[in-house]
Chains A and B, each alone.
Chain A
């Protein structure tokens, strides 16, 4: 909900996302610009990429991305250029670096640990045939049958 309340601030400037005058003539290059834009954060917005954002600053960034592409930069070079200027904060996908190791490895690590625990658990279950089955007592079974007939 808060997100939408914050949208008020952004919508106060009635500019809408990518404008017709920003679009590059070369469709391939424009597609690259759009792809890059989707990974860059609008710095004054809340969790919004510059491609979707209505803010002035997002427009400036979109134009900057296109400028660099026209100047012949590769996608990576454009990204590096923007990060150089605005810091890692601008990337919606944090860098695959040591300081972000926990973020990136949380999923795989938990899966491995959880998978291992599950496997041990299931193996114990499947070999633990010696344990008595704790089913329903005869009395409970009779009651259940009566209910199901009910």
Chain B
């Protein structure tokens, strides 16, 4: 029954989504209050119904109901409970259901908490949100039904890909989707604003928290995926410039640009039409990402041609959503006049630079990602675009961004004076360059990555702190006065500092691991001791062990430094019998200075084992950077002005005149 109930709930949700598009939109146009109000219960009902469908699918997975095709294909009765649950979204149909669940959840959130929105804007936002919802509900119902039954259920399921049976990856898709779909809110607000013909500070105040929330989720989601790749794939790679990764990275870059430009709309009432365009583009990249991942078009044009149904469906959604929104933009954007004035040297200009660099960087990733497809279609040439291209073509934008960041972040609004802003920064700039030079001397020349990377990292991190130090007059006023000022500093400013520091720390971690990694590949016999940089590793033995749904050979290694034992390491080679698939579990000894990373390879004919070991310097700073980045976002989103905005709803509700 569960599957049928879920299917039925989905159909009902689709049935509700259509009037939710039409009725509030007409109501907003004609000024009919009760028509506008229809959006609220409809959005809530849509969410509840989709929620029921999601719960039913989860039930089928948890109870291992193998009469449901999806469960039989992706689950197994011997799988740990956690992975039975996460198995729900570790496949195409289930992940699309998760997508729509989150989408309708956000719609319901606006319905419930959006009482202080102007009624016409709220009605239009929910209508647009329902357009996206209806499109994806139709996609699920017509091409990707997760509730299909099997005529003859198998005794047990096929199980989940062992690589995906990992806590890091279990929560990677939900976070990514919360991010992707969170951007749909910015999109709906942008389209609704274009229809209304009005964008003001209040609009930005609604859009920015949503963008921030989406951005935080995306940051964490991408970070989780990268961390997972680092310890699970067996050689410590953490970013591959894979099309699927790029699919999440492009919306992230656009969301980053958007949350910066929305500040300008909010505080200065400028950059309105650009911000609306960014909001449309950010969600467009989410859709493009979904298309890339779900259609398989980038893997191979032929895979797409063989099973085009899903791909074509998403392509149509893509064309209508992006084309429609951009057409509307072309028609209405001129109405969004910004009248604020600012000088060439000002915070506004700095944020324009930020937007320019981030958008062009996203465009580079986009062109690189689709280039193999474009080349094959236009000239028939088969080309590959991989990490070496992106490292060259993408990195310069981040270098320039890091260079201007501390300065632009400290420039005052409206009109600034470069000399005055630079005053507290000269010393930091000099120190950064000196640090880079010292690094260059220590590594006796060689590649410029580490010296440049460390210079920029130091500059960005300390520059971000200097911003706050100047604001609280640290060292200029008495200490109690500085403390008082720091308490009064808005949380958003602390958020800005933490996020910028996070960016700097990531630059540091990435430059360090790319420049100074040490690798050792060898055949080791049991009892052997071999050197690895400043360490020694002893190979103590290999044991067979039995996991819940796998068997494994577990290597035992002891790590020494200066003849003192500092850690035991147990890398595993696992075999999952259900999929008859081996995976390798690296053993990592982590601290803030370096990771020692050991992987057990194959048994050799002479009785030894292939062993790969690495010293990866400062790797943890990449994840610390990601964490700091999102922590900054969290501080910003809880800033008083957003809390005030939501608290004010009660007091202003009666004051708002009926329109």
A interface residues with partner B (beta carbon < 8 Å): 1-8, 11-12, 14-21, 23, 38-39, 41, 46-49, 52, 87-94, 99-100, 102-104, 106-107, 110-111, 114-115, 118, 121-123, 125-126, 128-129, 131-135, 143, 147-148, 150
Segment 339-376 of B: residues with Cβ below 8 Å from A: 339-344, 348-349, 352-353, 356-357, 359-361, 363-364, 367-368, 371, 374-375
Residues of A within 8 A of B388 (CB): 38-39, 92-93
Q: A49-B387, A102-B371 are in contact. List 18 more A-B contacts (CB 8 A).
A: A1-B90, A2-B244, A3-B244, A4-B164, A6-B299, A11-B581, A14-B602, A20-B523, A41-B386, A87-B382, A91-B383, A100-B371, A106-B363, A107-B367, A121-B352, A125-B270, A131-B341, A133-B341
Residue B521, interface by CB 8 Å: yes
Which one of B233, B342, B610 lies within 8 Å of A20 (CB-CB)?
B610
A-B contacts, 16 listed (Cβ < 8 Å): A3-B244, A4-B161, A4-B169, A7-B233, A12-B581, A17-B234, A17-B235, A89-B382, A93-B392, A99-B381, A107-B367, A111-B397, A122-B342, A126-B342, A134-B269, A150-B648
Assembly CA distance A125 to B352 (angstroms):
12
Residues of B within 8 A of A114 (CB): 356, 359-360
- Given A111-B356, A125-B270, A88 contacting B383 (CB threshold 8 A): yes
Assembly CA distance A121 to B342 (angstroms):
10
Nearest chain A CB to B166 CB, angstrom units = 10
Closest to A39 in B: B388
- 6 nearest A-B residue pairs (beta carbon): A92-B386, A93-B388, A107-B364, A89-B382, A106-B367, A134-B339
- Given A16-B584, A122-B342, A107 contacting B363 (CB threshold 8 A): yes
Closest to A107 in B: B364
Assembly CA distance A143 to B242 (angstroms):
50
Nearest chain A CB to B402 CB, angstrom units = 16
Mask: chain B, 126-138; 1 = CB below 8 Å from A; 0 = not: 0000000000000
Residue B647, interface by CB 8 Å: yes
Assembly CA distance A143 to B655 (angstroms):
10
Residue B444, interface by CB 8 Å: no
- Given A8-B579, A125-B342, A131-B341, A110 contacting B360 (CB threshold 8 A): yes
Residue B385, interface by CB 8 Å: yes
Mask: chain B, 227-265; 1 = CB below 8 Å from A; 0 = not: 000000111010011111100000000000000000000
- Given A18-B521, A20-B523, A111-B360, A88 contacting B392 (CB threshold 8 A): no
Nearest chain B CB to A85 CB, angstrom units = 14
Residues of B within 8 A of A7 (CB): 163, 233
Assembly CA distance A33 to B243 (angstroms):
26
Closest to A148 in B: B644
- Given A16-B599, A88-B383, A103-B371, A11 contacting B582 (CB threshold 8 A): yes
How many residues in B have their beta carbons less than 8 Å from beta carbons of A?
Answer: 80
Residues of A within 8 A of B522 (CB): 20
Closest to A9 in B: B581
Segment 153-210 of B: residues with Cβ below 8 Å from A: 161, 163-164, 169, 173
Nearest chain A CB to B356 CB, angstrom units = 5
Residues of B within 8 A of A2 (CB): 244, 293, 296, 299
Would A150 and B644 count as touching, CB distance under 8 A? yes
Residues of B within 8 A of A16 (CB): 234, 584, 599, 601-602, 610, 612
Which one of A49, A90, A94, A128 lies within 8 Å of B341 (CB-CB)?
A128
- Given A89-B382, A132-B339, A123 contacting B344 (CB threshold 8 A): yes
Would A41 and B341 count as touching, CB distance under 8 A? no
Residues of A within 8 A of B647 (CB): 150
Residues of B within 8 A of A92 (CB): 384-389
Residues of A within 8 A of B2 (CB): none
Nearest chain B CB to A82 CB, angstrom units = 12
Which one of B379, B393, B604, B651 lies within 8 Å of A104 (CB-CB)?
B393
Assembly CA distance A4 to B371 (angstroms):
22
- Given A114-B360, A126-B343, A128-B341, A1 contacting B293 (CB threshold 8 A): yes
Assembly CA distance A104 to B394 (angstroms):
11
Assembly CA distance A110 to B362 (angstroms):
11
Residues of A within 8 A of B368 (CB): 103
Assembly CA distance A67 to B522 (angstroms):
20
Residues of B within 8 A of A52 (CB): 235, 237
Assembly CA distance A106 to B368 (angstroms):
9
Which one of B240, B341, B523 lies within 8 Å of A47 (CB-CB)?
B240
Residues of B within 8 A of A1 (CB): 90, 95, 164, 173, 244, 293
Would B341 and A125 count as touching, CB distance under 8 A? yes
Assembly CA distance A5 to B386 (angstroms):
19
Residue B421, interface by CB 8 Å: no
Assembly CA distance A147 to B650 (angstroms):
12
Residues of A within 8 A of B363 (CB): 106-107, 110
Residues of A within 8 A of B387 (CB): 38, 49, 92
Residues of A within 8 A of B235 (CB): 17, 52
Would A125 and B340 count as touching, CB distance under 8 A? yes
Mask: chain B, 296-326; 1 = CB below 8 Å from A; 0 = not: 1001000000000000000000000000000
Closest to A106 in B: B367
Would A122 and B371 count as touching, CB distance under 8 A? no
Would A107 and B397 count as touching, CB distance under 8 A? yes
Residues of A within 8 A of B348 (CB): 122, 125
Which one of B245, B364, B523 lies within 8 Å of A106 (CB-CB)?
B364
Assembly CA distance A38 to B379 (angstroms):
26
Which one of B164, B360, B384, B584 lies within 8 Å of A41 (CB-CB)?
B384
Assembly CA distance A147 to B394 (angstroms):
44
Which one of B375, B521, B655 lies within 8 Å of A99 (CB-CB)?
B375
Would A94 and B389 count as touching, CB distance under 8 A? yes
Closest to B367 in A: A106
Q: From A103, A132, A135, name the one whose CB has the most chain B CB atoms within 10 angstroms.
A: A103
Nearest chain B CB to A46 CB, angstrom units = 6
Would B367 and A102 count as touching, CB distance under 8 A? yes
Residue B583, interface by CB 8 Å: yes
Nearest chain B CB to A144 CB, angstrom units = 10
- Given A19-B521, A114-B359, A88 contacting B393 (CB threshold 8 A): no
